[in-house]
C-alpha cells in the first residue's frame, strides 16, 4: 500500500507541476471562476461546447495547492470530447469517490475514466482537501450550466 501511495503522490505532483491544458484557448464560449478560500485555490475553467453539447475544448488558468492543480489538470484531460451530460455524470462519480468511504477503489478502477482519478481518493481522509479536489469539477459544471462563479464556502 505504501508503494501505491507513493505512486499516487508522484502522479499528483507531476500534474501539479506540469498542469495539462493550462491557459486560455481561443474560441471558448463558456467559462466560470472557482474559489476555495479555505485553501486559497482560485481558478477559471474555459470550455468550448459545440451545438450538440460536446466539450470540444477545455482548459484552465489559476493557482492553488498541488491537489487542486492536479485535479484541474486531470479534469481537463477527462472531460474533453465528452458531452456536457457525460462530464457532469463523471463529476458525480468522482464526488462519490472522494467523499464516500464505501466506494470500493478496485471497482472504481474498472471504470475507464474513474480509474485515472483514483489517485485523488486519498483526500477522503481530509475534508478540507476534498474541497481542493472537487473545486475544478464544480467550476467546470458551473461553466456548462452558465453560472459564472462558484465558491466552496
Q: Which residues pair with 151 in a beta bridge?
A: 35
Q: Min. distance of Cβ 41 from Zn ion in angstroms?
A: 4
- Please name the helix (run of DSSP H) or strand (run of DSSP E) that holds residue 111, with its range, or none: none
**Interface with Zn ion, residue 71, by CB under 5 A:** no
Closer residue to Zn ion (CB): 16 or 79: 16
The answer to whether the Cα torsion of 82, 84, 90, 95 is positive or negative is positive
For Zn ion, the closer of residues 35 and 41 by Cβ is 41
Q: Which member of 90, 132, 142, 150 binds Zn ion (CB under 5 A)?
A: 132
Interface pick for Zn ion out of 21, 31, 42, 68 (rule CB under 5 A): 68
Q: Which three cell numbers stand for residue 32?
A: 466560470
Told to check if 41 binds Zn ion by CB under 5 A, we report yes
Residue 65, interface with Zn ion (CB under 5 A)? yes
Contacts within 8 Å (CB) and 24+ apart, 80-83: 80/21, 80/55, 80/56, 81/54, 81/55, 81/56, 82/54, 82/55, 83/52, 83/53, 83/54, 83/55
Q: Which CB sits closer to Zn ion, 78 or 132? A: 132
Q: Name the site residues for Zn ion (rule: CB under 5 A).
A: 39, 41, 64-65, 68, 132
Amino acid at each position: 500500500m505504501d508503494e501505491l501511495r507513493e505512486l499516487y503522490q508522484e502522479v499528483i505532483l507531476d500534474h501539479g507541476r506540469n498542469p495539462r491544458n493550462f491557459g486560455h484557448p481561443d474560441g471558448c464560449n463558456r467559462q466560470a471562476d472557482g474559489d476555495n478560500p479555505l485553501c486559497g485555490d482560485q481558478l477559471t475553467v474555459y470550455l468550448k461546447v459545440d451545438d450538440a453539447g460536446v466539450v470540444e475544448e477545455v482548459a484552465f488558468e489559476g493557482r492553488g495547492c498541488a491537489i487542486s492543480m492536479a485535479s484541474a489538470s486531470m479534469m481537463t484531460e477527462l472531460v474533453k470530447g465528452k458531452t456536457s451530460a457525460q462530464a457532469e455524470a463523471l463529476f458525480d462519480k468522482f464526488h462519490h469517490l472522494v467523499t464516500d468511504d464505501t466506494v470500493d477503489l478496485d471497482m472504481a478502477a474498472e471504470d475507464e475514466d474513474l480509474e485515472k482519478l483514483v489517485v485523488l481518493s486519498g483526500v477522503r481522509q481530509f475534508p478540507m482537501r476534498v474541497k481542493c479536489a472537487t473545486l475544478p469539477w464544480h467550476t467546470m459544471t458551473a461553466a456548462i450550466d452558465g453560472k459564472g462563479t462558484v465558491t466552496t464556502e
